[in-house]
C-alpha cells in the first residue's frame, strides 16, 4: 500500500477544511458525481475461459498515457497515489523540466522506507477502444525506483474514471460515452510481472544487507575493534623478515621458511 504525497502534507488550515467538509451534515440536496447513468455488473458472461489461482496475481492493464500504450500498469485500488516511474518518463521522451516541484514524501513503494518524488506531472490517460473510450487527466508522482511496472494506478485514478476492478476475473469496467468499457488483463502477463517484482525486491533487500555489513565492518575497524591485518598463527607477526632454509641436505629441493 502506498500513501503520503502532497495531499497528506498540506497545511493545517487545509486539513481543517477537509475535516470540516467530511464531518459536515448531509446536505438536503445530494450532489451526484458523473458517469453514474449505466450500472456496472459482473456475471457469467464476463467469466474467462480459466481462472487459475483467483486473486493471487496482480491486475495489470495497458492504458494509453499521453499517446503511448503502457502495457505494464498495475491497478492497485488500495493505495492513495498514482505513481509513474522515472524510466517510463524517460522512455516517453518527457523531460524532467516538465515536472512540477514536489517535496512531500510517500511511503510503501519499498517496504519500511520513504521516498521523495522527483516531481509531479499531470498526463492524459485513455481507457477503452477507438469506438468507446474515455480520457481523463491524471496526476502522477514520479518515483526514481526500479520496478517491474511502468506505472501504478491507485484509487485516485480509479475514482476519476469511476472505474471498478474485479480481480477474480482480472478485468476493469467503467462507463463510456457509448456503453460500458471493459478492459481485461492477461494472467500470464500478470504472473511474469509478479515474478519480476519478487526478484527485484529480493535484490534490493540483499544489497541493503550487504551495505549494512560493510558499514558495520568499517565502523568497527575505525574504532580499532578489528585489526587492519590478521595476525599469523602462534603470535608471529606477518611484518617480520623470513629466511628460506633446507632442513635435510639429502633432499635439497625441500625447503622451509623461518622468521628471523
pTM score of the predicted model: 0.69
3-state secondary structure of 218: helix
pLDDT for the residue 115: 73
pLDDT for the residue 78: 76
The dihedral built from the CA positions of residue 155, 132, 59 and 90, taken in this order, carries a sign that is negative
pLDDT for the residue 192: 92
- Tens of pLDDT, residue by residue over 24-34, are 756 667 778 88
- Tens of pLDDT, residue by residue over 46-68, are 998 888 888 889 999 999 999 99
User: CB–CB of 194/59 below 8 Å?
Assistant: no
- Tens of pLDDT, residue by residue over 174-189, are 999 999 999 999 999 9
3-state secondary structure of 175: strand
Burial of 127 (0-12, 13-18, 19+ CB in 10 A): buried
- Does the pLDDT at position 231 exceed 50? no
Residues 6+ apart with CB under 8 A from 33: 162
- At residue 217, what are phi and psi to the nearest 5 degrees? -65, -40
- Dihedral through CA 75, CA 77, CA 82, CA 86, nearest 10? -40
Among 67-71, 73-77, 205-209, the minimum mean pLDDT is found in 205-209
Amino acid at each position: 500500500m502506498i500513501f503520503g504525497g502532497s495531499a497528506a502534507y498540506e497545511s493545517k488550515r487545509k486539513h481543517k477544511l477537509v475535516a470540516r467538509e467530511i464531518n459536515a451534515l448531509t446536505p438536503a440536496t445530494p450532489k451526484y458525481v458523473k458517469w453514474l447513468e449505466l450500472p456496472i455488473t459482473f456475471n457469467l458472461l464476463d467469466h474467462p475461459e480459466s481462472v487459475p489461482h483467483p486473486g493471487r496475481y496482480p491486475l495489470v492493464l495497458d492504458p494509453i498515457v499521453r499517446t503511448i500504450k503502457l502495457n505494464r500498469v498495475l491497478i492497485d485500488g488500495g493505495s492513495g497515489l498514482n505513481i509513474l516511474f522515472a524510466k517510463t518518463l524517460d522512455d516517453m521522451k518527457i523531460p524532467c523540466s516538465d515536472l512540477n516541484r514536489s517535496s512531500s514524501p510517500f511511503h510503501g513503494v519499498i517496504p519500511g522506507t520513504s521516498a521523495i518524488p522527483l516531481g509531479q506531472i499531470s498526463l492524459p490517460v485513455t481507457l477503452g477502444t477507438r469506438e468507446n473510450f474515455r480520457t481523463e487527466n491524471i496526476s502522477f508522482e514520479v518515483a526514481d525506483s526500479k520496478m517491474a511496472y511502468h506505472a501504478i494506478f491507485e484509487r485516485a485514478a480509479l475514482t476519476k474514471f469511476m472505474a471498478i476492478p474485479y480481480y477474480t476475473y482480472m478485468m476493469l469496467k467503467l462507463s463510456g460515452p457509448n456503453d460500458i468499457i471493459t478492459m481485461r488483463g492477461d494472467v500470464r502477463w500478470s504472473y511474469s510481472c509478479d515474478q519480476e517484482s519478487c526478484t527485484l525486491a529480493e535484490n534490493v533487500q540483499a544489497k541493503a544487507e550487504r551495505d549494512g555489513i560493510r558499514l558495520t565492518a568499517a565502523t568497527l575497524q575505525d574504532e580499532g575493534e578489528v585489526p587492519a591485518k590478521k595476525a599469523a598463527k602462534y603470535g608471529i607477526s606477518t611484518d617480520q623478515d623470513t629466511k628460506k632454509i633446507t632442513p635435510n641436505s639429502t633432499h635439497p629441493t625441500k625447503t622451509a621458511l623461518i622468521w628471523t
